[in-house]
Amino acid sequence: MVVELSCPLSKEQYSISSTALGFVELTKVVASKCALEEYFKNWLLDCNNDHEYLRLIFPREEIGKPDKYAVLEENEDLVLKCDVFECIINPMSLPFGNRFLIQTDLLGLNLRANTLKSQGNYLPIYELIIRSRLSINGVCESLLFGMPLRLYPTQCWRLEGSKILENQQYFSALCKELMKNEEFLLAQLKPHPHSDPASGYFILIPGEGSLLLKSIAPGEIILPQKNDKVDNIVPEEVCKIAHCKITSTLNAIPFHSEYEPKLWKSGLYTAISSNLMISAESLGDTSKKDSKPTDPPQEVRRMPTKAIIKSKGPTPNVLVKEAILRTNYQGRGQRRT
């Protein structure tokens, strides 16, 4: 691959174009920071088109009269095949990734050893610096990531009662003013002089007596959008059939004005209980194997005490007895002769 850099006519003008020349791909990149950054970030996109990555399944609609534009069989679901592209780089896969999230548990906290020693087993006190106000319609959902957190005025018992009440009044006034103006707040994690240099950004969404805190992607981790729009020439009749089919399919899906979490169960409790039952059964099987009677031990023949003594070596008493027996035997032999 050959990369050719050309000087732009203006600071705002930059583009990327590539031409395939046999086995060599000639890519022209305008010599600007934004163009080079976008070019190298394109390497992180997965452009493999061997198969689709995701399928949207629409259950078969139950319509009394057949649709004259129906192109699917009666028992066939409408399936849309899609490719998946990431919007941002996962911060946790990068160095200093913990500086882009607010950690609320010690297990997920990824800090240096000296920081943990200095603070003990307590979570650190995060400090966010307000950088800007944003319009409520000026934030793209694709830039938000991480676990959402809800902020309330503190009830810390270490503070004085007057300070707690004053803080509550300021907090409530801030929420009301932001909701009135339909604005968000953009905040940045305050960098510490002896900590990681990276500092992530967060947005504060106002609510009734609370603020919703969510991480928002900075410019360094945003991936370029895929702009491969294929303008195929499709007959008007085919477009009309597809539009009517999508309309009838959407009309058959139940509509809810708002999302109620209690109505939508994921089956997590059932999965956990079944997993616990499987674990208990496996533990029971292992305990049965451990308590299974083993083969009876073979009988050990005990050797006589004398044999055991001889096997360990002659003792003084045994030597005296042997000497007496030898003397008596020699005396009997002399008498016979």
pLDDT score at 47: 72
Assigned CATH for 97-221: 2.40.290
User: What distances in angstroms separate CA 249 from CA 12, 17, 236, 243, 307, one per listed residue?
Assistant: 45, 41, 20, 10, 97
Which regions of the chain carry the CATH code 2.40.290?
A: 97-221
Of 110, 114, 113, 85, nearest in space to 100 by CA: 110
Of 86, 89, 182, nearest in space to 138 by CA: 182
CA 267 – CA 245 distance, rounded (Å): 32
pTM: 0.67
Query: Among residues of the chain, what percentage have pLDDT more than 90?
Result: 35
The answer to whether 207 touches 214, Cβ cutoff 8 Å, is: no
Q: Is the pLDDT of residue 143 over 60?
A: yes
Q: What is the pLDDT of residues 67-79, one digit of tens each?
A: 544 445 556 788 9
Mean pLDDT of the residues in the chain: 76
Least confident residue range of 96-100, 121-125, 219-223, 303-307: 303-307
